[in-house]
Structure 1
């Protein structure tokens, strides 16, 4: 049975440890063969933009661009529709491979019994 992990990260540079933890868990799970869906909401929405992840720094943490690359290699990154709109972020603004989707898609992803969702 395939495993799936849905992670919703609400923290960005405003809470760097929580933010980094979410990306790290997602990247490690993806590297381990778990189907990962990472949702960028709240302040983490900014990391959907080119160059923003490279500006993030946390001592003793893996670089965010590397984690994003690992997640995208085996999973999906989604930017919350409302969070994008509140920040003026449009589909053409985001890094390659990031989709913009809303609550209906999130609910669809977490409904199956074999899915576990984490919020950071």
Structure 2
């Protein structure tokens, strides 16, 4: 069985390559059969809202909405509760399959046996 992977993306479009790298690693791990949990924090929280991933572009990169779909198909996507609140994002604003949760849930995930956590 593949290890679990928790990927936390802490930046938005202002750090396009780092943002895309986090999504790419999460999607690649999901496609390889790992249990993936993608966390969107800081400005990345906006990518939990419909249309935001579709509007993001980066030359020579797989479209962000496609990467997000791969993760949503087999894993989970979570927007940080404090980050969402600071931006006025509520559960009803999120794309289907994305949830809001806080630090306790994140800590529980990353402290699990066999879990690898990465932060971008």
TM-score normalised to the size of structure 2? 0.98
The offset of 1:54, in angstroms, is 1.0
Which secondary structure state, in structure 1, belongs to the residue aligned with residue 66 of structure 2?
A: helix
- Find the counterpart in structure 2 of residue 68 from structure 1: 68
Whole-angstrom CA distance in 2 between matches of 1:116 and 1:4:
6
- Find the counterpart in structure 2 of residue 33 from structure 1: 33
Residue 90 of structure 1 pairs with residue 84 of structure 2: no
Give the count of matched residue pairs: 120
Whole-angstrom CA distance in 2 between matches of 1:25 and 1:36:
10
Whole-angstrom CA distance in 1 between matches of 2:12 and 2:60:
17
Whole-angstrom CA distance in 2 between matches of 1:85 and 1:112:
27
Computed over aligned residues only, the root mean square deviation of the Cα atoms, in angstroms, reads 0.7
1:1-120 equivalent positions in 2, closer than 5 A: 1-120=1-120
> Runs of 4+ in structure 1 displaced over 6 angstroms?
none
Which secondary structure state, in structure 2, belongs to the residue aligned with residue 99 of structure 1?
A: strand
Whole-angstrom CA distance in 2 between matches of 1:109 and 1:25:
18
> Where do 5+ consecutive residues of structure 2 fail to align?
none
TM-score normalised to the size of structure 1? 0.98
Whole-angstrom CA distance in 2 between matches of 1:100 and 1:81:
5
Which secondary structure state, in structure 2, belongs to the residue aligned with residue 14 of structure 1?
A: helix
> Where do 5+ consecutive residues of structure 1 fail to align?
none
1:74-119: CA deviation from partner (whole Å, max 9, x where unpaired): 1100000000000000000000000100000000001123101000
